[in-house]
Amino acid sequence: MEKALNIGITCYPSLGGSGVIATELGKQLAERGHRIHFITHGMPFRLTGYHKNIYYHEVDVPDYHVFKYPPYDLSLAAKMAQVANLQELDVLHVHYAIPHAVCAYLAKGMVNRPLKVVTTLHGTDITILTHDESMADLVRLGINGSDAVTAVSNDLIRETQTRLQITKEIDLTYNFVDKRIYMPKDATRYRNDFAPNGEKILMHISNFRPVKRITDVVEIFRKVNETVPSRLVFIGEGPEMAKIVSRVKELNLEEKVLFLGKQEIVADLISVADVLLLPSEKESFGLVALEAMACGVPTVGSNAGGIPEVVVHGETGYLADVGDTDEMAAGCIKLLSDDGLYAAMAAQCVERSRTVFCNERILEQYESIYYRVLGYDVKNDAERERVCTVE
């Protein structure tokens, strides 16, 4: 590490892939000696307990009678500026352009010291908000006002540049998992609870939004279960929950489908699965597929968005066109019916997670970006690259 930095991090603190990545990034940067200041409206759900070099600054929103709605964005910008001045921040690293990059842009104009802004794009601010031209202008402002911009997949970089006509360089920084937490584990005790008769276990983890195509998950499972005795485990909840419960009942599958609801820590639960199902209509990355991969669990899903950058078809899982539940079910059956194929694919999952998506390598990429925008001399990529081996 060239120099310890004071880094502010702003993210959505609730459940979600971007909040997970932002929090894990902060925790691991703190382990490397940087001082990390989380600036959010609530404690990030993965940031529990005491962590050396980590500080939390809560955003208070005034209830002023002339405002129809509480001015959260302005309060966040003011808090960012306050923390930057008091804690002598070097960098504000914000996750999502809306509202965080725009707030950081405002904060940068208020501070009395040099402050750099790094924005990480995770997906929905590009794939959804930019359909509204007024929002597109704000996203564009946040991106162009940042000193560096990163995105979690090449697919998201292409979409950002195309939708917003952005010419600014965007750094590819894949998501990562902590291999000390996400690894193959003995899940016998869970398997006995979920599949008491030795059935195979298919799993889906999401926020149950329409884009996740949860009905496809049920349809894939129905087709697999006709050939391979199986159980389906759902983790998470959201707007599609009632619809899915009704569909499961229509198919008389209640005894074979388990809904676990929200689970903050899923590393142990993923290891119980034989296959992760991810048939989404769109994923900018697909963090849950990487989490499963790190646990030695192949993914079967769609070839949409950034998923093919995570899951290699035929090596760490099987991918098919969005909505092709026949092909996805066939991939599951192939995997679950061939122990040798499954063992080889599980091993390739672990290896890929610990090389391409190695947490040390991604951390060094982020550090390089921080040092670059601050004008510090940094080692070149060949000197900095650290290979993560499968342990």
> Residue 121 has what DSSP assignment?
E
What is the pLDDT of the chain when averaged over all its residues? 90
Please tell me the total count of domains within the chain: 2
Q: Count of CB atoms within 10 A of residue 268's CB?
A: 16
> Residue 27 has what DSSP assignment?
H
What is the predicted pLDDT for the residue at 62? 80
Task: Please give the residue that has the higher pLDDT: either 379 or 219.
Answer: 219
Average pLDDT over residues 26-53: 89
pLDDT at 262 over 90: no
CA distances to 218, 230, 300 from 203, rounded to whole Å, are 10, 11, 10
Average pLDDT over residues 344-354: 97
Q: For the segment 124-183, what is each residue's pLDDT rounded down to a tens digit?
A: 777 666 667 778 888 899 999 999 999 999 999 999 998 888 888 999 999 998 888 999
The verdict on residue 84 lying in a domain is: yes
What is the predicted pLDDT for the residue at 383? 46
What is the predicted pLDDT for the residue at 385? 47
What is the predicted pLDDT for the residue at 7? 98
Q: Count of CB atoms within 10 A of residue 198's CB?
A: 8
Contact at 8 Å (CB) between 78 and 54?
no
Q: Count of CB atoms within 10 A of residue 224's CB?
A: 26
Average pLDDT over residues 230-239: 94
Average pLDDT over residues 351-376: 94
What is the predicted pLDDT for the residue at 389? 47
Q: Is the pTM of this model over 0.85?
A: yes
Distance, CA of 73 to chain centre: 23
Q: Which residue has the tokens 């993560």?
A: 388
The verdict on residue 181 lying in a domain is: no
Instruction: Find, among 274, 272, 280, 348, the residue nearest to 319 by Cα.
Output: 280
pLDDT-based confidence at residue 388 (cuts at 50, 70, 90): low
Can you give the CATH number for the domain in which 336 is found?
Answer: 3.40.50.2000
Residues 234 and 165 placed together within one structural domain of the fold: no
The verdict on residue 1 lying in a domain is: no
Distance CA 17, CA 175 (A): 9
Contacts by residues 330-334 (CB-CB < 8 Å, ≥ 24 positions apart): 331/300, 332/202, 332/220, 332/224, 332/228, 332/275, 332/277, 332/300, 333/224, 333/227, 333/228
Q: For the segment 273-292, what is each residue's pLDDT rounded down to a tens digit?
A: 999 999 999 999 999 999 99
The verdict on residue 216 lying in a domain is: yes
Task: Please give the residue that has the higher pLDDT: either 285 or 17.
Answer: 285
Residues 326 and 366 placed together within one structural domain of the fold: no
Q: Which range among 23-32, 154-163, 360-369, 373-382 shows the weakest confidence by mean pLDDT?
A: 373-382
Residues 363 and 309 placed together within one structural domain of the fold: no
Pairing between β-strand 200-205 and β-strand 116-121 as defined by DSSP bridges: unpaired
Q: What percentage of the chain reaches a pLDDT higher than 70? A: 94
pLDDT at 384 over 50: no
As beta bridge partners, residue 24 has none
Label residues 365-383 b or e (16+ Cβ within 10 Å = b): bbbbbbbbbbeeebeeeee
Q: Which range among 6-15, 41-50, 181-190 shows the weakest confidence by mean pLDDT?
A: 41-50
Residues 209 and 302 placed together within one structural domain of the fold: yes
What is the predicted pLDDT for the residue at 157? 94
pLDDT at 330 over 90: yes
The verdict on residue 390 lying in a domain is: no
**What range defines the domain where residue 329 resides?**
188-355
Residues 219 and 161 placed together within one structural domain of the fold: no
Contact at 8 Å (CB) between 335 and 341?
yes
Rg (CA), the chain: 22
The verdict on residue 147 lying in a domain is: yes
Instruction: Give the DSSP per-residue string, 261-317.
Output: ---S--HHHHTT-SEEEE--S--SS-HHHHHHHHTT--EEEE--TTHHHHS-BTTTE
Distance CA 173, CA 167 (A): 18
What phi and psi, each to the nearest 5 degrees, are found at residue 35?
-100, 120
User: What single letter denotes the amino acid at residue 280?
Assistant: S
Q: What percentage of the chain reaches a pLDDT higher than 90? A: 73
What is the predicted pLDDT for the residue at 1? 53
Residues 48 and 171 placed together within one structural domain of the fold: yes
Residues 362 and 317 placed together within one structural domain of the fold: no
What is the predicted pLDDT for the residue at 212? 95
Label residues 13-29 b or e (16+ Cβ within 10 Å = b): bebbbbbbbbbbbbbbb
Contact at 8 Å (CB) between 282 and 305?
yes
What is the predicted pLDDT for the residue at 134? 76
Q: Is the dihedral of CA 176, 376, 32, 46 positive or negative?
A: negative
Residues 152 and 80 placed together within one structural domain of the fold: yes
Residues 223 and 338 placed together within one structural domain of the fold: yes
Average pLDDT over residues 213-222: 97
Residues 320 and 362 placed together within one structural domain of the fold: no
Instruction: Give the DSSP per-residue string, 236-268.
Output: ---TTHHHHHHHHHHTT-GGGEEE----S--HH
The verdict on residue 162 lying in a domain is: yes
Residues 172 and 38 placed together within one structural domain of the fold: yes
Q: Which range among 12-26, 103-117, 126-140, 200-214 shows the weakest confidence by mean pLDDT?
A: 126-140
Distance CA 165, CA 326 (A): 38
The verdict on residue 123 lying in a domain is: yes
What is the predicted pLDDT for the residue at 127? 67
pLDDT-based confidence at residue 382 (cuts at 50, 70, 90): very low
pLDDT at 391 over 50: no
Residues 282 and 375 placed together within one structural domain of the fold: no
